[in-house]
Amino acid sequence: MDRRNVLKTFGGAAFGGALLSGVAGAKRENHIVPGGPWVTENEPRKVEAFRDYEELVSDLEKVARTSAREFSLESVGTSNRGRDIHLARVGSGDTDVMFVTQQHGNEPHGTEAALSMLQYLSSGSGEADDLLDEVTVNVIPRANPDGSEPDLFQRYNVDPDAPARDTEEGFFTSFDAGVGWDVNRYHWPDWTESTLYQNRPDEYPENPVPEAQAVVDAVAEVDPLWVVDVHNQGTYVTDDGRMITTSLYWPIAEGVPADAQDLSKQLVRHAYDHVSRFGYAEASQYPGGTYPGIARNSYGLQGYGSVLVEIRGGVDQKSNGKLSRLALEIMASVVDGTADESVFEVDPDDAEEIPERGDYYDRELPPE
């Protein structure tokens, strides 16, 4: 199989350097290279380019109806507002792999990329069939369907009973009471080990975040080789002034089995090498923490390969296509690398050589 042709077909275009091209240069005082797009302070937020819940469900059901390969679509749970959390499954390979996107409602590019990937994999093309003979791809394409709705588009799920933030107690919530919970802090396979249960077992005898519990249960049911969790981050900059477009990381919680961490590092380095060679993206190492309830750490602790992908975000519609395609390239690369086993040839220690993320870009916007 020609890896370059497979990845080209995933995105429907030759990505090369045309999508996110930039010019290297010295770090400037008030802007970075490449610059923009930017959302100005008084600019109204527009999220119409991203699918809302009904549009996403409609497109997923269309893929299920028209798929040329084995394809299933099921609900693995419901949100607090009664929306289904879907699991799409395509392929017949012996190795299951899994993606989770949009745990944070205002981080949408992984969802757009996941749908594009499912559309391609179900198309019946020869390259897709070769992949799906080796792997079965499982996708939760929107883990937080309430928070992602255009009228909210917020990080948290929706729960009017959620208390205000107090992380020492285990409340990874909004600073304001009555908003919601951070879905990506409640991936506890054994809830009794959670910070919240340890502090308040009578008040919270079960996981109060149904979206997180749905993902936990789905991962346990699928039992994949690896889990890749796709998010968005802000704008960061390297020391020489280049805009960082993606950051990657592996599980580092105490107790992660060595083989699970090694596989995670292999996946990270494989994805990093793939996007870096095109010259259109600036990839870095995410500065992740050790909290066990985070998906990246939780699934690593359970023995799975586990990878966090962060795509530059906070720009609404202005760079939707570019950033979704970048997420798609990363996702496609780890599927392909697993199918042809090239990911297992990567030296895990090479992941440590990926440059660290750099500084948050909090300066004034570049001049008009």
- pTM, full prediction: 0.91
pLDDT score, position 23: 31
Helix (H) or strand (E) holding 212: helix 210-222
pLDDT score, position 170: 98
Q: How far is CA 125 from the centre of its chain?
A: 26
Which domains occur in the chain, in start order? 3-12+72-360 (3.40.630.10)
Q: Give residue 198's identity as a one-letter amino acid code.
A: Q
The number of residues in the chain equals 368
pLDDT score, position 241: 85
pLDDT score, position 278: 75
pLDDT score, position 240: 85
The residue ranges of the chain whose pLDDT is under 70 are 1-31, 40-45, 280, 316-318, 363-368
Grouping H, G, I as helix, E, B as strand and the rest as coil, residue 66 is helix
pLDDT score, position 195: 98
pLDDT score, position 11: 45
Quick check: bond before 145 cis, omega within 30? Answer: no
Dihedrals phi, psi of 20, to nearest 5 degrees: -125, 40
47-48-49 Cα angle (round to 5): 90
